[in-house]
Amino acid sequence: MLHNSFKPFILVSQKLRCTNFGLVVKHMLTKVEKCENLLHVSWKDSTKRTYPLVWLRDNCQCEKCFHPESKSRTLLLKEFDTHPAVSSCKVLNGTLSVAWSDGHKSAFNSDWLLLRGFDNESQRKRSEQVCSQKILWNSGLKENLPRSNFFSAINENESLVCWLKSLQKYGVAILENAPCKQGQVRILAHKIGFIKKTHYGEEFQVQAKDQPNNVAYTSTELQLHTDLPYYEYKPGVNILHCIAQDMTSAEKGENQLVDGFAVAENMRDKYPDAFKLLATTLVDWSDVGVDDSFTFNKVYRAPVFCQDITGQLIRINYSQPQRDSYFPGPLETVQDWYDALKLFCTMLYSEEYLVRLKLKPGDILIFDNRRVVHGRSGFGGGRHVEGAYIDWDEINSRLRVLEFGI
């Protein structure tokens, strides 16, 4: 969920606070009443919940319907009656017992039911577990970027949880004091899950190369972009470990970061027509070439701003080099679309939004590749950054395991 009140400057507390939503409060069931296709259930503390019969039958926890080791439903949908009838129901020793008209019997634990309520409060708590809140930011974040120690994150689960939750919230975080040698991004990724492999490999070395097959492998300025927009399942998170960096110049080799969601939301508010064009006009994103003898021709068609069914932003595609010359949008929208894209670019580079920082050797910058638009100023020789990708699925999974178990 996006933060509703975007403010010009957001100061982030460096004291990261972690909340454990996995604590189960034990309640005692006391009463059940049937009304048409619903069961109304009451607890001792006056809590009341209503459950559809079809949902209860679908989620029967008996060994015929549910496999406890894999925590998976085994009930065959092709044989499932979507209009089940109940012959009797009662509360026995704090457990809801249901006898179905076909002779099947189900039992539902009090705490299990309470966590799965259909009321607004239960749904809100579940959303907090599954959909992390995102706080929008702009250039005011620079002095308060969430930071942690590399060794604390890989050796202490509590530190890892707090650091990853800050990454969920702000879309960017830094680990400090990592060894200045290759292999640290793999250590970090394996602490969370596993590296996402692309046609550039698993780890990749961002250095000036003699015959670069990507503009990132030059020493020139790297304009603001998101990585790999031509992937349908593009990497969720970018990990960049600064191994070597000339620190004599503050401007050379500095990283540039912008909260793309913050800019897009501001466009939605102030320039709704431009926002709509970037959210509805399809674009061909592509990458063609050879890397380590592997030939690739990647194309993915999607707008600059991608939204979910509720209208929340879920992904930004933006890369001038990887935007194909094919334009699948309507002819009459081309000029307006270019004007909207230029407006987005202008806002990205404005002092209101752009964060500039220079990584020192040992820093690991990790950011949300679906949200944060990033770039780099030009640099001289000697700069070496090792990169890798990891998907949000793995990060979110690791957090749930560490907070709630399985």
Average pLDDT over residues 123-137: 87
Identify the pLDDT of residue 127.
85
* All residues at 6 or more sequence positions from 349 whose CB lies less than 8 Å from its CB, including other chains: 224
At 246, the pLDDT band (50, 70, 90 cuts) reads: confident
> How does pLDDT run across 15-54, given as a tens digit for each residue?
333 444 344 445 789 999 999 999 999 999 999 999 999 9
Quickly state the pLDDT bin for 188 (edges 50, 70, 90).
very high
How much is the average pLDDT of 74-92? 94
pLDDT at 25: 44
pLDDT value at residue 212? 59
pLDDT mean across residues, the chain: 89
pLDDT number for residue 291: 79
Backbone angle region of 13, left / alpha / beta, with phi > 0 → left and psi within -120 to 50 → alpha: beta
Give the integer Cα–Cα distance in Å for 45 and 27: 8
**How many other CB atoms are found less than 10 A from the CB of residue 346?**
10
CATH 3.60.130.10 matches 139-404: yes
pLDDT at 126: 86
Report domain 29-124's class. alpha beta
User: Does residue 19 or residue 188 have the better pLDDT?
Assistant: 188
pLDDT of residue 228: 96
Residue boundaries of the structural domains of the chain: 29-124, 139-404
Q: Which residues pair with 284 in a beta bridge?
A: 301
222 pLDDT tier (thresholds 50, 70, 90): confident
Local structure of 398: helix, strand or coil: helix
Percent of the chain with pLDDT over 90: 74
pLDDT band at 200 (very low <50, low <70, confident <90, very high): confident
CA of 87: how far to CAs of 49, 65, 98, in Å? 20, 19, 8
